[in-house]
Structure 1
Amino acid sequence: MELHSKYQVPLVLLLLLPALCLSQGYTSSRATYYSTSDGYGTPTGACGYGDYGRTVNYGMVAGVSGLWRGGAGCGACYEVRCKDSKLCNQNGPTIVATDFGAGDRTDFIMSLNGFLKLGRDSSASQELKKYGVVDVEYKRVPCTHDGSNVLIKIHESSKYPDYLAIIILYVPGMKDVVGVEIYDDYSKEWRAMRRAFGAVFDIVNAPRGPFKLRLQFSGSKDWVESSKSVIPGDWKIGASYDSGIHA
């Protein structure tokens, strides 16, 4: 039976609707992977995370290019799924951006742990691995793996007491930290920290602690201040602190 033309357009739209809904909010791209001996991330990287960037999120991490945002994109979480209906997991894994990386028109250069999660089962994952590069779609999702407050760490480049560098380890939700200031109790003023690289902020001639922090998040000109001192006066390299600040 041949359909009358007046029914054809509504029918086409009806057939396309599930596909349109499925991809709503996603951006098309490509993904590839890099190999480590255990499938986890790498302890080196442009974000400055060290070993945290290797194992965070069960090692399902990626270097990103267009999503890098000058380092502000460090730590952002994305749901990534590939497009082959026979091989790909429809839901897709959550991937954490821990490095800068650019490939052949790819937004994600993923750890092997993350890349293999694109497959619907182990056999499909191995088939995708053979491809090397796959078409994907992604969207940003809230980060929830390390609690509800921003976490910071004293970076290894710090030199007590005058040079202080901190790394923003974790930001809950879907916002980027775009500014950090530290309170100088002696001068009674807020002093700006510089984004040194990636997620690392630093300050020369650091005030004597303990001291508060305040953060500025993407999409807002307001500052969010910690309710109490976050970093003690006798801070040490490698120490991590809960800022008490919600994104």
Structure 2
Amino acid sequence: MGALHSTLLYLILLHSCKTIVSYKDQEWKKATATYAKDSEGSLITEGACGYGDLHRSSYGKHSAGLSTMLFSRGSACGACYEIRCVDHILWCVLGSPSVVVTATDFCAPNYGLSVDYGGWCNFPREHFEMSQAAFAEIAKEKADIIPIQYRRVNCQRSGGMKFTMSGSSHFYQVLISNVGLDGEVVGVKVKGSRTGWIPMARNWGQNWHCNVNLQRQPLSFEVTISSGKTLTSYNVAPANWLFGQTFGGKQFQHE
């Protein structure tokens, strides 16, 4: 029984360690939030992360722009945050429910205004500019700005990662979206049938590029997320792929 007890304790501790690694910001942190009005309920249709139409990219109304402090030059794109309204009896929805949003845009600073009066996204303030629909799930829409708590959480995605092709004959770029688990891509490699594995550089947001002609060959991708996990999707795009097309790959799974 002693050996069995030790084994069970080891497995519990191992699981706990993996949970800590999967998203490093488990504790609730203080920040503020506002919302951007949009007739379709999403934040915007073109954002700094490059996802394009947020409804088509599956992020939809559960999207948010992050201040400079949180955006981290685009590396936070695709990350998921749980947000709840706190400490405001007039503005917070009763019961303090939470909502999970995806980082899809950059909330630009306005240094002509004070951080307390309009310069919500000025450095080093931590601020979320939410979609109107997501904001309404935690606070009353007549609120100007609300105090919140937030924490990183794993992303729940339906289907596999998506790879959208763009570029030209000697400049290849891929947009990676619908990433599960951490959601935050930190490294990408691409491989054609006539090449080895080629490291790609972040162009902007979650657009990654390399200066190689990859046309007329099937493409495979190796994607690494912020926790260090790597997933390889082989032959995602067929040899006759075209710029503008989107293909599905594997998905990071929760343990």
TM-aligned CA distance change 1:54 to 1:217, over 3 Å: same
Q: Is 1:96 aligned to 2:102, yes or no?
A: yes
Q: CA RMSD in A?
A: 2.3
What secondary structure is seen at the aligned counterpart in 1 of 2:84? strand
Indicate the residue corresponding to 1:225 in structure 2.
Answer: 232
Q: 5+ unaligned residues in a row in structure 1: which ranges?
A: 1-23, 120-124
Cα displacement (A) at 1:163? 2.6
C-alpha contact (below 8 Å) 1:41/1:54 kept by paired residues = no
Q: Distance in 2 between matches of 1:214 and 1:31?
A: 35
Cα displacement (A) at 1:193? 1.4
TM-aligned CA distance change 1:39 to 1:64, over 3 Å: same
Q: Distance in 2 between matches of 1:193 and 1:185?
A: 17
Alignment of 1:182-193 (within 5 A): 182-187=190-195, 189-193=196-200
Q: Which stretch has the larger CA shift, 46-55 or 58-67?
A: 46-55
What secondary structure is seen at the aligned counterpart in 2 of 1:59? coil
Q: 5+ unaligned residues in a row in structure 2: which ranges?
A: 1-25, 109-118
Q: Aligned to 1:214, which of 209, 222, 228?
A: 222
- Report the TM-score when normalising by structure 2: 0.73
Q: Aligned to 1:179, which of 175, 187, 195?
A: 187
- Output one character per residue of 1:83-102: Cα deviation in whole Å (capped at 9) or x when no partner: 12463252211111110114
Q: Distance in 1 between matches of 2:165 and 2:39?
A: 28
Q: Aligned to 1:28, which of 27, 30, 33?
A: 30
Q: Distance in 2 between matches of 1:118 and 1:55?
A: 23
What secondary structure is seen at the aligned counterpart in 2 of 1:38? coil
Please state which structure has a larger fraction of its residues in strand. 2
- Report the TM-score when normalising by structure 1: 0.75
How many equivalent pairs are there?
209
Please state which structure has a larger fraction of its residues in helix. 1
Bigger radius of gyration among the two: 1
Alignment of 1:1-247 (within 5 A): 25-52=27-54, 56-65=58-67, 66-83=69-86, 84-85=88-89, 87-88=92-93, 89-102=95-108, 103-104=119-120, 105-119=125-139, 125=140, 129-147=141-159, 149-155=160-166, 158-159=167-168, 161-187=169-195, 189-208=196-215, 209-220=217-228, 223-226=230-233, 228-246=234-252
